[in-house]
Every structure is written in C-alpha cells, then in structure tokens.
Structure 1
Amino acid sequence: MAHQSYELKAEARERVGKGSARAIRRNGKVPAVIYGEKQPPLAITLPYKEVFHRIHAGGFMTTIASVEVNGEKIQVLPRDYQLDPVRGFAMHVDFLRIGRNTIVTVNVPVHFLNEEDAPGIKRGGVLNVVRHEVEFACPATAIPDYIEVDLTGMDIGDSVHISAVKLPEGAKPTITDRDFTIATVAAPAGLKAEESEEAAEAEEEQEEEAEGGDEE
C-alpha cells in the first residue's frame, strides 16, 4: 500500500543560518537537513521545483526518499517542512535518516468503504467521522497509505472501533489504553427530534402513572 520511493539529488552546504537560507532560496533551491541514526546532522540543498512537486503530490510525509549527496545515497523520510505563509513557497525540509530497524510515528488517513451497504445511511443516517486519521507507530519501510473501515451492516447508533479494523502488518496505534471510536452512524435531525418527543411523552406518562399511584 505504500507510495513508491523516489530519488532527490542534493548538494551539501557548509554555511547555515537565515542569511545562507535566503541566498539558497533566491537561487531556486530549498535548504534542508538530514538527521538521525546517531549521525551528525547533514545540511543540504534541494531543487525547488522537485521539492514543491513532491510536497503537493500527496503522501510526502509517509514516503521514503533516496537523497543522493556527494555520490552517497541516503534513505530518508520527511518529518517536517515549512511553507511561506503568504506565497506557499517551500522554505525548509527536515528529513529523518532511515536505518534497517527505524520505527516512526505517522498519521494514516482513514478510507470508508461500502456506505451504500449501511442500513443506517440508507435510512437517512449521517456518517459521523470521529477520526479522519489514526496515529500509528510502524517500521519506516512499511508505512501504510491508509486504513480501510467497512461500513457494511452499520445501522443508526452503531459505532466502529479500532479493534474492528484490519491493520497493516507491523502498524500499531499509538493509543493503547482504549478501543477508540473511528466513526458512528448518527440519526438525521428529523429522527432525533421524533425520538426526543417520544422520550418526553414516555416520561410524562411515567410521571402521570406515578402521581396516580400516590393519590391512591
């Protein structure tokens, strides 16, 4: 399910700091750093167009890249990036160096299947998504693109929890102290109103019966 890895050609940079970073951007490149695996941080520059394309193509933060620096290819995973708040330009990227046993924490999107086979939705119920993403700890080399939640058979008032979802091999939710909810099928507004009225009427009847018993 993982996105296909890609390659980036980089240049090592000796100077760091705001002034150096501005000069790099003026030359059509993006400053970046590679860290992790108990090695000193490596400051690099990357082609702006390539970085911009990768960021906006989807899956940037969950796809391993091979960065070539001075003839050496380094396996990395993007961990953070900054965009210009006004113009949206890529300003900086942080990469984590990936080793054989590197475990990372990532947010994985949730995809919902078979809404048409959910009786509650057929009756006008509304899919209430509690979590659009779920945070997992997983091997950096096996990051899932998404997890799938099957809505077949779900009626109004039903919920689907993480325990009901088939998880990718090696992926473990970071929330371990409870069987958390992914989504519910909620009643439509009209039905909620009817249920509230019915509940109110039932309560009035109970009170009247109780008062009648007291009078006797």
Structure 2
Amino acid sequence: MQMAIYELNAAVRTELGKGASRRLRHADKVPAVLYGGEKDAVSLTLEHNKVAQAAEFEGFYSHILTLNVDGEKVEALLKDIQRHPFKPKIMHLDFQRVDANHKVHTSVPIHFINEEGAPAVKAGGVIAHHANEIEVTCLPKDLPEFIEVDVAKVELGQTLHLSDVVLPGGVSSVELAKGESHDVAVVTIDKPKGAAEESDEDAAE
C-alpha cells in the first residue's frame, strides 16, 4: 500500500461555525478537528478528494496517519468520520494526536483467513462472525493495521473466543483486561442444521 494514503495535507482553519463549514464543503474541502495530547484542539481543513481516496482503504481507519499541518508533521489517529446521509460526501473528521511514548486506544479490524479451505467448512459447517474488530491498547509503533484470525484451526461446532486470538507483540485487548467475563466470541463454525437435528434425535432415542 502506498504510504501517501496515510499522509494528508491540512491547513489551520480560522473561520468557524456552520456557515464557514458549509462554504468549505462547497469548495470541496472537509472541515476537521485535531485534539489530544497536551495541546489545544485545532480546527483544520483538508482536500475532500484526497480524504475520499484515503477513506477507501481499510488502513485509513486504524493506521497512524501523518497530517502536514501548515508545514508541521503531526501523527494522529482518525477517531470519527461523518458522512452525508445519502451523497458520497465526507462532512467532518476528528483526529487525535499520537505521542510515540503514550499508548493509543483504538479498534483494529479482523481479517478472517482460510475460511473456504477450513476442514470444518468443507464438512458442511457454516461460519458465523461475532466480531469484526478488536479494541486494543498499544504504543503507536506496535499498532497493527489488522489482526488475522485463522479459521482453518476452528473445528465443527467450536467457537473461537477473544482469548484464542494471537495478538501481535506489545498489543493488549481492552476487553480481556476487564476480566474473564469479557472473553467474547469472535467466530463460530456451526454444524449444518440437518446434522444438529439428527444428533438431537439420536440423543432422545
């Protein structure tokens, strides 16, 4: 992937308010806010077409981004994106400053691999995804773009939980840190309905 996707030019915005934001959008600009760290929040403006291109990539939502703010490079995470209800238009962005020495708290997408070739699927099992992302904390340098979950190792009728997922080094699960009761299901390979009914009948006999 091109690193350009993760680097965007931004300008400090001095005109604030709904009217100013509306004028920006008519000029194909996106209003944004950069906050966090030990600095004050700053209102920004970005080019809509550049943001729209970047927003097509999954990594844009979980990767550390570089904002060139009037010549100064600032590392940040995208925390919120507001889209128009029906037009293909991005209305507003929220960015949070990132400090290399402080842990970030964000969600990382799950990539399920080997689904079609999984033995349990070939045996007629049906995959059910219970989660599409994992909430993590880690230092910015350790933040993964995605987390892989290998479905080939899941047996028929088995549920893979959060504690079964191998996280990259330096990355911790926010939910698991809360205790065993937060060990949520991630993916299940269900037995075919017919097979489940037959086994119930066998048990009854």
Q: Structure 2 length as normaliser, TM-score?
A: 0.87
What corresponds to 2:202 in structure 1?
Answer: 198
Describe the superposition over 1:151-173 as per-residue Cα deviations: whole angstroms up to 9, x where unpaired: 33533222223333221112111
Mark the CA change 1:47 to 1:193 in structure 2 (over 3 Å): closer, same or farther: same
For residue 188 of structure 1, the aligned residue among 181, 188, 192 is: 192
**Over aligned residues, Cα RMSD in angstroms?**
2.1
Instruction: Name structure 2 gaps, 5 residues minimum.
Output: none
What corresponds to 2:99 in structure 1?
Answer: 99
Report if the CA contact (8 A) 1:106-1:137 is conserved: yes
What corresponds to 2:60 in structure 1?
Answer: 60
Report if the CA contact (8 A) 1:84-1:91 is conserved: yes
What corresponds to 1:208 in structure 2?
Answer: none
Q: CA separation in 2, counterparts of 1:22 and 1:114?
A: 46
AA in 2 matched with 1:35: Y
What corresponds to 1:136 in structure 2?
Answer: 136
Larger radius of gyration: 1
SS of 2:22's partner is: helix
Deviation, 1:104, is: 2.2
Report if the CA contact (8 A) 2:63-2:144 is conserved: no
AA in 2 matched with 1:146: F
Describe the superposition over 1:105-153 as per-residue Cα deviations: whole angstroms up to 9, x where unpaired: 2222222333456433222111222222221122233321222222335
Mark the CA change 1:20 to 1:116 in structure 2 (over 3 Å): closer, same or farther: closer
Identity %: 38
What corresponds to 1:207 in structure 2?
Answer: none
What corresponds to 1:44 in structure 2?
Answer: 44
Report if the CA contact (8 A) 1:161-1:183 is conserved: yes
Residues 1-216 of structure 1 aligned to structure 2 (within 5 Å): 4=3, 6-115=6-115, 118-176=118-176, 177-178=179-180, 179-201=183-205
Instruction: Name structure 1 gaps, 5 residues minimum.
Output: 202-216
What corresponds to 1:210 in structure 2?
Answer: none
Report if the CA contact (8 A) 1:157-1:187 is conserved: yes
Describe the superposition over 1:17-70 as per-residue Cα deviations: whole angstroms up to 9, x where unpaired: 111100111111111111111211111111111011111222222122222223
Q: CA separation in 1, counterparts of 2:3 and 2:77?
A: 12
Report if the CA contact (8 A) 1:3-1:145 is conserved: no
Mark the CA change 1:115 to 1:61 in structure 2 (over 3 Å): closer, same or farther: closer
SS of 1:15's partner is: coil
Mark the CA change 1:19 to 1:147 in structure 2 (over 3 Å): closer, same or farther: same
Of residues 112-121 and 15-24 in structure 1, the stretch that sits farther from structure 2 once superposed is: 112-121
Q: CA separation in 2, counterparts of 1:64 and 1:154?
A: 32
* Number of residue pairs aligned between Structure 1 and Structure 2: 200
SS of 2:55's partner is: helix
Mark the CA change 1:111 to 1:3 in structure 2 (over 3 Å): closer, same or farther: farther
